[in-house]
A and B are shown apart, each in its own frame.
Chain A
Amino acid sequence: MTVTIKKPRPEVGRTLRSVVLIIVLALLMLLLFAVDVATGTYKLPIDWVYKALINAVVPIFELPTDATLVVLHLRLPEAVSAIILGASLASAGAVLQSVLRNYLASTYTLGVSAAAGFGAALAIVLGFGGFVIKYHVPVITSPYLIIPMAFLFSSLAALTVYALAYLKGATPSVIILAGVAVMFMFSMGTSMLQYFADNPDATHAVAMWMLGSLGNVRLSYLPYMALSLLPIIYYLAVSAKIDALGLGDDVAHSLGVDVRGLRLTLILLTAFQAAAVVSFVGIVGFVDLVIPNILRLIVGNNNARLIITSTIMGADVTLAADIISRILVPPYVIPIGIILSLIGAPYLLLMVITRGGRYGP
């Protein structure tokens, strides 16, 4: 019996829609980047901003050094780190939610951010407290120590969750419980450190660090932060397998997916992404939770599409938040974590109310 093979119109149609969305989001990212580098209280004609950027690559223009310095050392690191932050966290969130089959999963509930906070707090408090007692000279911990300590402890948290999952079975419930337990442990640790440090400067410093600020990123940190974007390539390569995980562990196994290995690897990679970002910027959450949920309502649950669009939209939203944080109440700069929560939570509520949980185009 002959089987009529239909012309693949439906899938081309879907792909076309996604491609258009991706192009739009990418263009939006370029636009927002251009606006972000042009925003700031330092008086600078807009064309100088772009000339300075071009100069950094190919020196063509004549510009006063101060202007170049402001653009390259103050504006550019903030804008680029906003992109990296948003892209990493959003893609990590998308993957985590698919892998754990739980749309409320985020890197925060893996305990990574809380552990980074603890590491930073430890570095700060030791710098203030321990040395005062010992040498009668308060030594402020070099920022070079805060970042590695934050990364060290967040890696420890990731490895703890990984080990617990490895030993007790890599099911979503085990991973989520382990993550939440680790998160509470380190949050408590941080609070205790602040309390027992009994040094107002230390407590202040910890609180400031935890609020998160893109302004603390130096140009030289950017390559290290950019490492957090590497796992995205892997995610896209295994996106079909992640889709299979959504059908259930047994079915995925029957399709040839190494369920346990894949899940453990992905947990580790997403935790690494979060650690690499949070160690430099402070605790910024929310992007990994809300952006994939918003996009799932628009592009559906196909992981390849979800990951790509989450990455770009994450960058968009963080850039927009950075712009807003600087223009809202000049000359004050609002910490970016606050802006992100203020934008996102109401927006998600709005999407639920208007769409009522209906999915897809």
Chain B
Amino acid sequence: MHGRELRGLSRTQLVVAAVLVLALAVAAAYLIIHHKPKAPTSAPATTSVNELIAYSSPNFVMYPVNANTIIINNYGENITLRIPTGKIVAMNTVALQVLIDIGAGNHVVGVEGYATKLPWLFGNYSNLPALSSGMWSINYEEIVNLKPDIVITWSYILPQVRQKLQAFNIPAIAWGSTDNLTSLIYFLGLITNRTDRAIRLINWMNRLEQELKTYQSQVNQHPRTYIIFDWEYSPWYTAGSSSNPYWAAVLAGLQPCFNKSMQVQPESVLQCNPDVIVVTTWYLNPHSLNATAYCRSIISSVRNNPVLNQTAAVREGRIVVIPGYLTQGPLRYITALYIDSVLWPNVVRVNATKLLNQYFSEFLSTAEPGGTWFCSG
């Protein structure tokens, strides 16, 4: 009895340890049994095959089956879709925007919460049922209620969505921030029988991209920039390569001071001495009465900031305020052009607001033209 103080595992403890190990083994076995399916060997027949191949990219690999069926291999699953598809739940705001752009908005029956906050972009679509919102759980019952033919969501919640909807035979695909926008556009055009409009959008984007490249090679400068991720949060939180504003700046040919989204020390900003300060705001309603005033107030706040006003950007009056929602999807190109037009007005003779209105009338028909979308000073 006294020796029990010193001895090793008692029987109960051994049993418990065995149970744990067993549970782990069972979990591993479960995992092994369920592996992902492989991609099918393609069965090409039609001429549009070349188009499909041209616009495919990882996670958006498209295969034709026949005149009204395609297969897409998206994030590890092969999904067969009928063309044209019926109802679409667009829990991904970029997908929603693209659908409206190509005139297929009538397919959309549900959106995500973020879209409901942007009525000036999405019009009546912001009144559709919001099925997920930021950190809140997804309402699967509502999705099932809507009986969609396909659900489009973000990559980070795709696994759960697929799992839950599997029982209802509702397929789900995702488009994430590392995926190819062109593939998404073409895919959405394909399933809504609007490939012509999709290609038009793609060409428009490519044209803008060309313009940007041309201007930038003419100017041949790569000014350093400090990108503020959310002015309403803090002037010292920068937008890194995991965020949309960063890529808008890069598209504009700028060289960001910081590559990570993080809190920075004011001295580091001074050390970088940016030539341009890009401020992202998420709360700008372009049609509100004080939109312009608000936008300009941001600029003066930056000018009055004791640290920032020692940078070359403020001294030379190169502060650009852009709304966050204009940095994702096709709109990113317009934003990039705007930035370039502010920096090099003699070379980049582009009126960004006019371009935006053009885009609205031709593509994003739900958006209201006019108003103040950005400003600079």
Instruction: Judge A-B direct contact (beta carbons within 8 Å).
Output: yes
CA–CA, A136 and B179, complex, Å:
11
Pair A66/B158 contact, Cβ less than 8 Å: no
**Other-chain contact of B75, A73, A140, A155, A204 (Cβ < 8 Å):** A140
Size category of the B interface is 35 or more
Does A145 contact B130, Cβ atoms closer than 8 Å? no
Q: With the chains together, A151 CA to B30 CA distance in Å? A: 13
Please name all residues of chain B whose beta carbon is closer than 8 Å to the beta carbon of A132 when the two chains form the complex: 178
Most buried by A among B4, B136, B176: B136
Whether A66 and B144, one on each chain, are in contact in the complex, defined by CB atoms closer than 8 angstroms, is yes
Does the CB pair B113–A144 fall under 8 Å? no
Given contacts A140-B75, A142-B159, A203-B242, contact A42 B142 (CB under 8 A): yes
Assembled-state Cα–Cα distance A327/B130 (Å): 15
Instruction: Decide: B136 and A332 in contact? CB cutoff 8 A.
Output: yes
What residues of A have a CB within 8 angstroms of the CB of B38 in the complex? none
B240 cross-chain contacts in A, Cβ below 8 A: 198
User: Are B141 and A213 neighbours in the complex by a CB distance under 8 Å?
Assistant: no
Name the distance in Å between A267's Cβ and chain B's nearest Cβ: 10
Question: How many angstroms from the CA of A207 to the CA of B260 in the assembled complex?
Answer: 18
Q: Which of the segments A257-265, A290-298, A344-352 contacts the partner chain?
A: A257-265
Neighbouring A residues of B262 by C-beta, 8 Å: 195
- The one of B19, B137, B144, B176 in contact with A213, judged by C-beta atoms closer than 8 angstroms, is B137
Interface residue from A42, A136, A141 paired with B159 (Cβ < 8 Å): A141
Q: Do B135 and A137 touch across chains, with their CB atoms under 8 A apart?
A: no
Residues of A within 8 A of B17 (CB): 268
Do residues A204 and B36 form an inter-chain contact, with CB atoms below 8 A? no
Contact with B along A255-279 (1 / 0, CB 8 A): 0001011001100110010001000
**Chain B nearest CB, measured from A301 CB (Å):** 24
Contact with B along A187-222 (1 / 0, CB 8 A): 000000001001111111101100101011010000
Closest to A204 in B: B156
Give the residues in chain B near A202, CB-CB below 8 Å. 156
Given A140-B75, A148-B27, A208-B135, decide whether A215 and B164 contact each other with a Cβ distance below 8 A.
yes
Whether the Cβ atoms of B13 and A331 lie closer than 8 Å is no
- Which residues on A sit within 8 Å (CB–CB) of B167? 69, 72-73
Check B145–A41 contact: CB distance below 8 A: yes
Is B45 at the interface (CB under 8 A from chain A)? Answer: no
Distance (Å) between the CB of A277 and the closest chain B CB? 13
In Å, the complex CA distance between A17 and B260 comes to: 61
What is the CA–CA distance of A138 and B185 in the complex, to the nearest angstrom?
19
Are A211 and B242 neighbours in the complex by a CB distance under 8 Å? no
Which A residues lie within 8 Å of B174 (CB)? 140
Q: How far is the CA of A64 from the CA of B23 in the complex (A)?
A: 37
Q: What CA separation (Å) do A347 and B167 show in the bound complex? A: 39
Given known A73-B167, A143-B160, A332-B133, contact A138–B141 (CB-CB < 8 A): no
B46-64 vs A: 1/0 string, CB under 8 Å? Answer: 0000000000001100000
On chain B, the residues within 8 Å of A332 by CB distance are: 113, 130, 133, 136-137, 139
Q: Does A43 contact B (CB under 8 A)?
A: yes
Look across to chain A and name the residue whose beta carbon is closest to the beta carbon of B159: A143
Q: Say whether B242 contacts A199, CB under 8 Å.
A: yes
A235 to chain B, nearest CB (A): 13
* Chain A CB within 8 A of B288 CB: no
Contact of A204 with B154 at beta-carbon distance under 8 Å, contacts A137-B58, A140-B76 already known = yes
Q: Is B353 in the interface zone, CB < 8 Å from A?
A: no
- The reply to whether the CB of B205 lies closer than 8 angstroms to some CB of chain A is no
When C-beta atoms are compared, the residue in chain A nearest to B154 turns out to be A201
What's the least CB distance linking A131 to chain B, in Å? 11
Contact of A43 among B140, B145, B159, B176 (CB under 8 A): B145
Number of A-B contacts (CB under 8 A): 165
Question: CB-defined interface of B136-179 with A at 8 Å, one 1/0 digit per residue?
Answer: 11111110110000000011111110011001100000101111
Judge whether B141 and A70 touch: CB under 8 Å.
yes
Interface band, chain A: 35 or more
Q: Is B127 an interface residue (CB 8 A)?
A: no
CA distance A224 to B174 in the complex (A): 29
User: B141 to A148, Cβ gap below 8 A?
Assistant: no
B104 at the interface (CB under 8 A from A): no
Q: Which of A140, A147, A198, A276 contacts B260 (CB 8 A)?
A: A198
B245, chain A: closest CB distance, angstroms: 12
Residues B136 and A140 in contact, CB atoms below 8 Å apart: no
Q: Is the CB of A207 within 8 A of B136?
A: no
Asked whether any CB of chain A lies closer than 8 Å to the CB of B28, the reply is yes
- Tell whether, in the assembled complex, residue A41 and residue B142 are in contact, meaning their CB atoms are under 8 Å apart: yes
Task: Tell which of B36, B139, B164 touches A331, judged by Cβ atoms closer than 8 Å.
Answer: B139
User: Is the CB–CB distance between A215 and B159 below 8 Å?
Assistant: no
Residues of A within 8 A of B4 (CB): 258, 261
The residues of A that contact B67 with a CB separation of less than 8 Å are none
Residue pair B34, A142 in contact (C-beta under 8 Å): yes
- In the complex where A201-B155, A204-B156, A218-B163 touch, is A265 in contact with B16 (Cβ < 8 A)? yes
**Contacting pair B140 A215 (CB below 8 A):** yes
A147 touching B58, Cβ below 8 Å: no
- Centre residue among B10, B24, B154, B163 by max chain A CB count within 10 A: B163
Is B12 positioned at the interface, with any CB of A under 8 Å from its CB?
yes
Bound-complex Cα distance A207 to B157 (A): 11
* A4-43 to B contact mask, C-beta < 8 Å, 1/0: 0000000000000000000000000000000000001111
A331 B27 Cβ-Cβ under 8 A: no
B243 near A: Cβ within 8 Å?
A: yes
- A183 and B148 alpha carbons, distance in the complex (Å): 43
Which residues of chain B come closer than 8 Å to A56, judged between CB atoms? Answer: none
- Does B293 belong to the interface (CB within 8 Å)? no
Q: Are A144 and B30 in contact, with the CB atoms below 8 A?
A: yes
The answer to whether B155 touches A151 (Cβ under 8 A) is: no
Contacts of B72 in A (CB 8 A): none
Are B144 and A199 closer than 8 Å at their CB atoms?
Answer: no
Residues 277-311 of B contacting A (Cβ, < 8 Å): none
For the complex with contacts A73-B168, A138-B58, 17 further pairs of A-B residues with Cβ separation under 8 Å are: A74-B140, A138-B59, A138-B75, A141-B159, A148-B27, A152-B24, A198-B260, A202-B156, A205-B156, A211-B135, A215-B140, A215-B164, A216-B163, A261-B13, A331-B139, A332-B133, A335-B136
**13 cross-chain CB contacts under 8 A:** A69-B168, A140-B159, A141-B159, A146-B159, A152-B24, A195-B262, A202-B156, A208-B157, A215-B138, A258-B4, A265-B12, A269-B16, A272-B23
A interface residues (Cβ-Cβ under 8 A, vs B) = 40-43, 66, 69-70, 72-75, 124, 128, 132, 136-148, 151-152, 155, 195, 198-205, 207-208, 211, 213, 215-216, 218, 224, 227, 258, 260-261, 264-265, 268-269, 272, 276, 325, 330-335
Q: What 3 pairs across the A-B complex have the smallest Cβ distances?
A: A205-B156, A42-B141, A333-B137
